[in-house]
């Protein structure tokens, strides 16, 4: 017959209680912190690209407990069958807004890469109540009344105008035999002017992640990092090329994971 368990003696109960309190003091803040750090990321790719380009980053963030939604803008990526010169910046902004609204996403960390900075700025202006933070990854950081064409000045961007064919910007590096790949983008998305009307959007906190290569001077995206710094946003730097989602995934994911 199994011997009945003896009740805990007083000093044993005290020790058990002390150990439990110590565990709560040490472990509970970490548990709560981990819960707070589980974000919903909505990622908007750059020009000519698609959500496919952020698949690996998605997997890495998901493995850390986050939820990730990758938006592919109309006419690009797997939505290339919808491509048309009539597509403009407002269409791409609506792509992001509708994804967030129809998926009923809230407290969103909205991430824009390169041209995607134009899009996330417009989307945040329309639904600021759903955005927790905006993160710009080597991206345009526009003000109202600006367009990609007005911001993309200097030798680093002059080649874009030379890519236009029948209303589409056709990237010379795209390999038409490969899938997935970069595809032509409506040039109107570069010429359309962004109109911002919601003062609440200016209160959304932001983070800027600037990529840099010592051999590339001046850095074409440094002016936008400077704008972010002037707003009091943290500016992080990754020593890599313009596509960290391909070339520097680990440091990029670490920075995205660390946003408040």
The reply to whether 32 falls in a domain is no
Per-residue pLDDT tens digits for 36-92: 569 999 999 999 999 999 999 999 999 999 999 999 999 999 999 999 999 999 999
**Contacts for 209 with CB less than 8 Å, ≥ 6 apart:** 135, 136, 137, 138, 235, 236, 237, 238, 244, 252, 255
Report whether pLDDT(34) > 70: no
pTM: 0.85
> Confidence class of residue 149 from pLDDT cuts 50, 70 and 90?
very high
The reply to whether 185 falls in a domain is yes
> Confidence class of residue 215 from pLDDT cuts 50, 70 and 90?
confident
Per-residue pLDDT tens digits for 94-143: 999 999 999 999 999 999 999 999 999 999 999 999 999 999 999 999 99
Q: Which domain holds residue 243?
A: 40-257
Average pLDDT along the chain: 89
Q: Say if residues 94 and 101 touch (Cβ distance below 8 Å).
A: no
Report whether pLDDT(204) > 80: yes
Q: How many Å apart are CA 69 and CA 129, to the nearest integer?
A: 18
> Confidence class of residue 14 from pLDDT cuts 50, 70 and 90?
low
Three-class DSSP category at 181: coil
The reply to whether 105 falls in a domain is yes
Q: What is the pLDDT of residue 25?
A: 47
Q: Strand 168-169 relative to strand 164-165: parallel, antiparallel, unpaired?
A: antiparallel
Instruction: Please indicate whether residue 70 or residue 4 has the higher confidence score (pLDDT).
Output: 70
Report whether pLDDT(21) > 60: no
CATH number for the domain that contains residue 213: 3.40.50.1820
The reply to whether 223 falls in a domain is yes
Cα–Cα distances in angstroms (integers) from residue 246 to residues 12, 52, 54, 107, 249, in the given order? 57, 11, 8, 27, 6
Q: How many Å apart are CA 249 and CA 82, to the nearest integer?
A: 30
Please state the domain count of the chain: 1
* CA nearest to 62, candidates 198, 256, 260: 256
Task: Give the catalytic positions in this structure.
Answer: 114
The reply to whether 15 falls in a domain is no
């Amino acid at each position: 017959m199994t011997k009945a368990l003896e009740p805990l003696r007083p000093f044993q109960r005290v020790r058990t209680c002390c150990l439990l309190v110590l565990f709560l003091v040490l472990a509970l803040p970490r548990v709560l912190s981990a819960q707070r750090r589980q974000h919903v990321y909505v990622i908007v790719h750059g020009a000519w690209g698609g959500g496919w380009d952020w698949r690996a980053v998605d997997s890495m963030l998901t493995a850390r407990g986050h939820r990730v939604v990758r938006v592919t803008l109309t006419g690009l990526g797997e939505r290339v069958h919808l491509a048309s010169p009539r597509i403009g910046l407002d269409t791409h902004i609506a792509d992001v807004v509708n994804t967030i609204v129809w998926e009923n996403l809230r407290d969103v960390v909205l991430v824009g890469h390169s041209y995607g900075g134009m899009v996330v700025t417009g989307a945040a202006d329309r639904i600021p109540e759903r955005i927790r933070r905006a993160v710009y990854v080597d991206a345009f950081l526009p003000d109202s009344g600006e367009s990609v064409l007005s911001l993309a000045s200097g030798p680093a961007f002059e080649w874009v105008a030379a890519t236009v064919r029948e209303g589409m910007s056709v990237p010379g590096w795209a390999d038409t035999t490969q899938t997935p790949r970069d595809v032509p983008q409506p040039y109107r998305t570069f010429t359309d002017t962004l109109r911002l009307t919601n003062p609440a959007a200016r209160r959304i906190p932001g983070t800027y992640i600037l990529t840099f290569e010592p051999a590339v001077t001046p850095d074409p995206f440094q002016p936008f990092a400077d704008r972010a710094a002037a707003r009091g946003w943290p500016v992080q730097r990754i020593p890599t090329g313009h596509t960290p989602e391909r070339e520097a995934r680990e440091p990029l994911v670490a920075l995205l994971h660390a946003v408040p």
